[in-house]
A and B are shown apart, each in its own frame.
Chain A
């Protein structure tokens, strides 16, 4: 009996350590596998942040948001990260930095092209910024 209990404890311990190790080393998942919680127009999202940053932050920061709009600028950073700026009709836009943990089918877009991108809303920093974005088909 004692042997069985000991064996159980050892197995449970090893399993626990294994799960702990797995959780500890788990990579940030691809945005493609995450569900968006809100769908909104780029102009409206920007407008909400511009009108009341605190209220919009409470509503959107940390949420996975699907944003639709027309491309104002499509660029690639020195390290290869693609970025898309969606037009909001004002001086600033909705800036979407592409997810490093996803293979993107398309990373450059023509100005004016209509697009829906999904990413985690980070807040407003001149533009409203979305982190880890993927294109929504």
Chain B
């Protein structure tokens, strides 16, 4: 009897894993680095949200600008007030889809190279982008990592002449998120 319950439990657990269609996190880590000979700037956001639909490949990402943490107070202030205008544009989003969804088997543990294509909105400006990333399926979770570059000029982020040499023309962005089946 006990054995049967265990078997039933295992079946239920597997059934649940296989059926989970939407994965979700509210703890996505989004980090960026601006590296110039004059200055190194680094900030991290640990409260990004992400929803992934494994059936359609649809992905929605969102971070609040005010939740980017810097080491230096002045950098955090300039970032929010002068560059990102975070009270006017409180968030940045990416809404898109995985273009090679058929390469991913969400029922099988493994690492899959993917490309996400969609609309990135930063500072109220929309841009169509295509980003390479990695999905790691394991332990009932989907881990998403990606590295890409954002150019402030593409999003009408104006950097004044005096500090132009302090801020990189290309900002390196790193995404790291572990998505759990929705509904816990």
Q: Which residues of A come within 8 Å of B, CB atoms?
A: 23-29, 57-58, 61-62, 75, 77, 79, 81, 83, 95, 97, 100, 120-123, 125-127, 129, 131-132
- A129 CB, nearest partner CB in chain B, Å: 5
Interface residues, chain B, with chain A CB atoms under 8 Å away: 26-27, 29, 46-49, 62-67, 69-74, 76, 80, 86-87, 90-91
Q: Are B66 and A77 in contact (CB under 8 A)?
A: no
Q: Is the CB of A62 within 8 A of B66?
A: yes
Determine how close the nearest CB of chain B comes to the CB of A64; give it in whole angstroms: 12
Q: Choose among B26, B29, B76 the residue that contacts A127 (Cβ–Cβ < 8 A).
A: B26
Contact of B64 with A125 in the complex, beta carbons under 8 Å: yes
Q: Is B66's CB under 8 angstroms from A29's CB?
A: no
Residue in B46, B71, B73 whose CB lies within 8 Å of A81? B46
CB contacts (< 8 Å) of A95 on chain B: these are 26, 47
**Considering the chains assembled together, what is the distance between the CA atoms of A25 and B86 in angstroms?**
22
In whole Å, how far is B78's beta carbon from the nearest beta carbon of chain A?
11
Q: Are A62 and B86 in contact (CB under 8 A)?
A: yes
Of the candidates A83, A120, A131, the one whose C-beta lies within 8 Å of that of B27 is A83
Q: Are A57 and B90 in contact (CB under 8 A)?
A: yes
Asked whether B26 lies within 8 Å of A28 as measured between CB atoms, the reply is: no
- Contacting pair B72 A26 (CB below 8 A): yes
- In the bound complex, do residue B73 and residue A27 qualify as a contact, i.e. CB atoms below 8 Å apart? yes
Extra contacts, 4 of them, besides A62-B66, A129-B64 (Cβ < 8 A), are A28-B69, A28-B70, A61-B87, A122-B66
Quote the shortest CB–CB distance from B165 to chain A (angstroms).
15
Q: What are the residues of chain B within 8 A of A81 when measuring CB–CB?
A: 46
Query: What's the minimum C-beta distance from B167 to chain A, rounded to whole angstroms?
Result: 14
- The answer to whether A126 touches B72 (Cβ under 8 A) is no
Known: A123-B91, A125-B49. A23 touches B86 (CB 8 A): no
Cβ-defined partner of B71 (8 Å) among A28, A75, A121, A123: A28
Cα–Cα distance between A5 and B90 once the two chains are bound (Å): 49
Query: Which of B27, B47, B71, B74 is the most central at the interface, judged by chain A CB atoms within 10 Å of its CB?
Result: B47
Contact A61 B49 (CB under 8 A): no
**B47 CB contact (under 8 Å) in A23, A57, A125:** A125
With known contacts A79-B46, A95-B47, A123-B90, A61–B66 Cβ distance under 8 A: yes
Q: Is A26's CB under 8 angstroms from B74's CB?
A: yes
A131 surroundings in chain B (CB, below 8 A): 47, 64, 66-67, 69
